[in-house]
Amino acid sequence: MYTLGEFIIENREKFFYSTEALLRLFSSIKLAAKAINKEVNKAGLTEEIIGSSGFTNIQGETQQKLDQFAHKAFIESFKSRNVVCGIASEESKDFIIIEKEKENLFQNKYIVLIDPLDGSSNIDVNIPIGTIFSVYIRRNTSIQMDLTIEDFLQKGNKQILAGYIIYGSSTILVFTTGNGVHGFTLDPSLGTFYLSHPNLHFPKGEKIYSINEGNYAIFPDGIKNFIKYCQEKKENRPYTARYIGSLVGDFHRNMIQGGIYIYPKTVYFPCGKLRLLYECNPMAFLTEQAGGKASDGKKRILDIQPMNLHQRTPFICGPMKMVSKLEEFIRNYD
């Protein structure tokens, strides 16, 4: 069985950039993931983990204690590995600069955007939650200069690494570097990630639609009509409805079983709810690498020019055929 480190070394010629950098990036990600995994597994046993921290984040949402723990775990872990120069996180209003020694100027050239703990409202009720990450090589500005916001506002099609960690019935790290999507399951007794899901791909034959149908009344007409279409008794429909309200969990299931994930604009969220840079872009990169399509309903997610760090977008991802069908409904009704 391949460990993650062995897999990277074995496939080194398929990466477009330094194997050493990739190993360092993964070393940070694995370290933080293991620390979070340990805490998540203790939820319920100690008051220090579950529940609200009493603070709100930049989006005005209540931060859970584990949100803050996960945010700190990733920042500390990236700081210690001399590979990243800046991080933007869902839990922090501004981007964070990682100070570096002069001699590391050329090494610390990666930009990370991260949702340290997505779906955190599910922590207290034992439903899978996840970390989502997105990495860009170099910066938009000169390496000698201080980082600016421009370094973070890169289009999703420039990502060199993206993935998620799902803390579920087991803990799995799923990523792409542009050469397919691969999943590694944590063996908690050894603390090692082993290749368990090579070449993940949306299967042929779509089955599932995932959307918060409780919002039906505040969806645009195109979405309402697509839901009706999913429920029709025709061809291979009706599809099964599955929605746990945890993007990583819903996405992971849909990629393995064949389903579409939809978070459209609503009356309450006119620009959509999910964040482009650290939720939608990484999931879109994974989707395309798994043979699917990711769209805001009209255009490709990966081609959107970000305007600010916490920008939201409507988000649709899944098997090519399903996403194209939904785009057709949006064109015809909205």
| Smaller CB separation from ligand AHM, 61 or 334 | 61
| Smaller CB separation from ligand AHM, 120 or 185 | 120
Looking at residues 96 to 125 of the shown chain, list those that interact with ligand AHM (rule: CB under 6 A).
Answer: 115, 118-120
* φ/ψ of residue 117, rounded to 5: -145, 95
- Contact between 187 and ligand AHM by CB under 6 A: the answer reads no
Q: Which of 285, 91, 321 is CA-nearest to residue 203?
A: 321
Looking at residues 221 to 280 of the shown chain, list those that interact with ligand AHM (rule: CB under 6 A).
Answer: 245-247, 250, 273
Looking at residues 114 to 143 of the shown chain, list those that interact with Mg ion (rule: CB under 5 A).
Answer: 115, 118
Among 212, 225, 257, 311, binds ligand AHM (CB under 6 A): 212
Contact partner, 67, from Mg ion, ligand AHM, none, Cβ < 5-8 Å per class: none
The amino acid sitting at 317 is: C
Query: What residue number has its CB nearest to Mg ion?
Result: 118
* φ/ψ of residue 325, rounded to 5: -60, -45
The kind and range of the H/E element at 110 are: strand 110-118
DSSP-derived pairing of the beta strands 62-64 and 52-56: antiparallel
- Contact between 56 and ligand AHM by CB under 6 A: the answer reads no
Looking at residues 177 to 196 of the shown chain, list those that interact with Mg ion (rule: CB under 5 A).
Answer: none
CA 314 from chain center: how many Å?
15
Q: What are the C-alpha distances in Å from 291 to residues 15, 16, 77?
A: 19, 20, 32
Query: What character string, x for contact with Mg ion (CB under 5 A) and - otherwise, covers 87-116?
Result: ----------------------------x-
Tell me the C-alpha distance between 36 and 130, whole Å. 10
Q: Shortest Cβ distance from residue 9 to ligand AHM (Å)?
A: 33
**Cross-strand bridge partners of residue 167:** 129, 171
List own/partner pairs for 15-19 with CB under 8 A and 24 or more apart: 15/177, 15/179, 16/160, 16/177, 16/178, 17/137, 17/160
| Smaller CB separation from Mg ion, 138 or 310 | 310
- Contact between 61 and ligand AHM by CB under 6 A: the answer reads yes
Looking at residues 74 to 93 of the shown chain, list those that interact with ligand AHM (rule: CB under 6 A).
Answer: 90
- Cβ contact 314:272 at 8 Å: yes
Tell me the C-alpha distance between 115 and 279, whole Å. 7
Tell me the number of residues near Mg ion by CB under 5 A: 2
Positions touching ligand AHM (CB under 6 A) are 61, 90, 115, 118-120, 212, 245-247, 250, 273
Point out which residues bind Mg ion (CB under 5 A): 115, 118
